Amino acid sequence: AQTVTQSQPEMSVQEAETVTLSCTYDTSESDYYLFWYKQPPSRQMILVIRQEAYKQQNATENRFSVNFQKAAKSFSLKISDSQLGDAAMYFCAYALGTSGSRLTFGEGTQLTVNP
């Protein structure tokens, strides 16, 4: 079974600074995808960034980038130039690269951005 672990229940960062959220996962599969989702108080899960396991290049989306270490099964999220609106719960998630694959989520990291 696949598992996802986020070892940082809470993190804080100063506005305009950079913060890195950690995630490790365990799988024996070779075809899979990794995700970071943001969940604000509205409860809706919002996709931040996605990484295909077969791609060696780390995904980037504006201020958000990942450090994907496939051998170490590590998938960290870096947020640059943090903004107040980045404050939320962040979840790392895994899904197989097959039709109908469900997401397996980590426990989450609560990010606080201090002005």
Given the rule CB under 8 A, which residues bind another protein? Answer: 4, 32-33, 42-47, 50, 91, 93, 95-108
How far is residue 108's CA from residue 13's CA, in Å, rounded to a whole number? 16
CB of 91: closest distance to another protein in angstroms?
5
Select 19 or 34, whichever has its Cβ closest to another protein.
34
CB of 103: closest distance to another protein in angstroms?
7
Select 74 or 101, whichever has its Cβ closest to another protein.
101
Site of tokens 């490790």: 24
How far is residue 4's CA from residue 2's CA, in Å, rounded to a whole number? 7
